[in-house]
Amino acid sequence: MRRIRLPRLPRPVVRALVAAFVLAVLAAIAWSMSRLDWSVVGVLFSRNDAGRIALLLGGSLLASTAGLSFGFLAWRVVLLELGPAISGPRVVRIFFVGFLSKYLPGRVPGMLATAKVATVNGITFGRLMTTAALVMSLVLLSGFTIGLLAGVQVLGARAAWLAGAAVLVVAVLVRPQLVNRGAALLLRLLRRPAAAKAASVRGVRLAVAWQSLSWVVTGLHLWPLAVAMGAPASRSLLLCVGAFTLATSVGIAAVFIPDGIGVREAVLTAALSVVLPAPAAAVVALASRLVSTVSEVLLGAVALGVAEYLVRRERAEAPQPVTGRKV
């Protein structure tokens, strides 16, 4: 299979494209933030005193940010399994450029930007695509499995189809080579290059563990929001974890809908209606989108800023080639 090479551009052109990309992402994020329903914050404050709701919102934001960080660690494990090691700041660069690119309309600009950043930082296109295929399969399998926590309460016996994901997760843990073969087959069907190296047994299992932890911790951000709207704390804990995981997995599976907007909220509202009236459940679903977006933007911006600083320092400290002169 022919190796894909992105064209080398003059440095001024590269700088102009980077500036245009950053501005486009910032504009897309600003547009997305402006479309969020910020009135739900007022609803939450109206149901609680200021101190309590500030504590609940802070805990929700912290859980969402921590969960996303664990998701990054799952992606990092897979990326490093598929080829030579690269420095941590460069891994952060690649991941969060791709992650924040999801706010851009369409998928092509984000894919091109991620591919270019990956190439500049020593990651081939095939390795990047294989990482994406492996991680997406693990995300969905673990997501639908943990979604059983809510699926059983919401769907009853009809949630049996979710058990298929749990069976596949167990199969992957027992025979991790299956996920390598599945990703290779998917890329072959899509006519995309694959990485030259497969992920190890230990790597796949570690990625499953990190991704499962990411789902659980991220799902916890929904619980303080539900409690703030009157949900019983003990009964709603596992439901919230499972509801968010199931709703987000369904949103990811709906590939033609950007970031699962609308789909995720519909599933969340239906699941939370088990412990809340439908209007209150809808408020929690909207508040969840707000918290998730804010945590994604904050973490992405901070991570990219720190990574850029460390990469520049790494370059400055690297030994410079010595050029000799004839005497």
Per the CB < 8 A criterion, the answer to whether 140 and 249 are in contact is yes
* Nearest-angstrom CA–CA distance, 292 and 299: 11
Rounded Cα distance between 110 and 327, Å, is: 52
Contact 207, 78 (CB under 8 A): yes
**What CA–CA distance (Å, rounded) separates 38 from 45?**
12
Q: From CA 292, how far away is CA 286, in angstroms rounded?
A: 10
Q: Is the dihedral of CA 243, 205, 130, 118 positive or negative?
A: positive
pLDDT per residue of the chain (327 residues) written in tens, 0 to 9: 444 455 566 667 666 766 777 787 788 778 777 777 777 777 887 777 788 888 889 999 999 999 999 999 999 999 999 888 899 999 999 999 888 888 877 667 778 888 888 888 888 888 898 898 889 888 988 888 898 888 777 766 566 667 777 777 777 777 777 777 777 777 777 677 777 677 888 888 899 999 999 999 999 999 999 999 989 999 899 999 999 999 998 888 776 666 667 788 888 998 999 999 988 999 999 899 899 989 999 999 899 999 988 888 877 777 765 554 443
Interhelix angle 160-174/148-155, rounded to 10 degrees, is 160
Q: Number of C-alpha atoms within 13 angstroms, CB side, residue 53? A: 15
Q: How far is CA 66 from CA 61, 72, 161, 210, in A?
A: 9, 10, 30, 12
Structure confidence at residue 19 (pLDDT): 76
Determine the Cα–Cα distance for residues 93 and 319; give it in Å rounded to an integer.
Answer: 23
Distance CA 18, CA 113 (A): 9
Identify the CA nearest to 264 among candidates 280, 274, 252, 256: 252
Amino acid letter, 58:
G
Query: DSSP class of residue 107?
Result: S
Query: According to the model, what pLDDT value does residue 159 have?
Result: 62
Give the whole-angstrom CA distance, residue 202 versus residue 318.
33
CB atoms inside a 10 Å sphere around CB 305: 11
Element (H, E) at 130: helix 125-146
Q: What is the pLDDT of residues 189-237, one digit of tens each?
A: 767 777 767 788 888 889 999 999 999 999 999 999 999 998 999 989 9
State the pTM of this model.
Answer: 0.84
pLDDT at 220 (0 to 100)? 95
Number of residues in the chain:
327
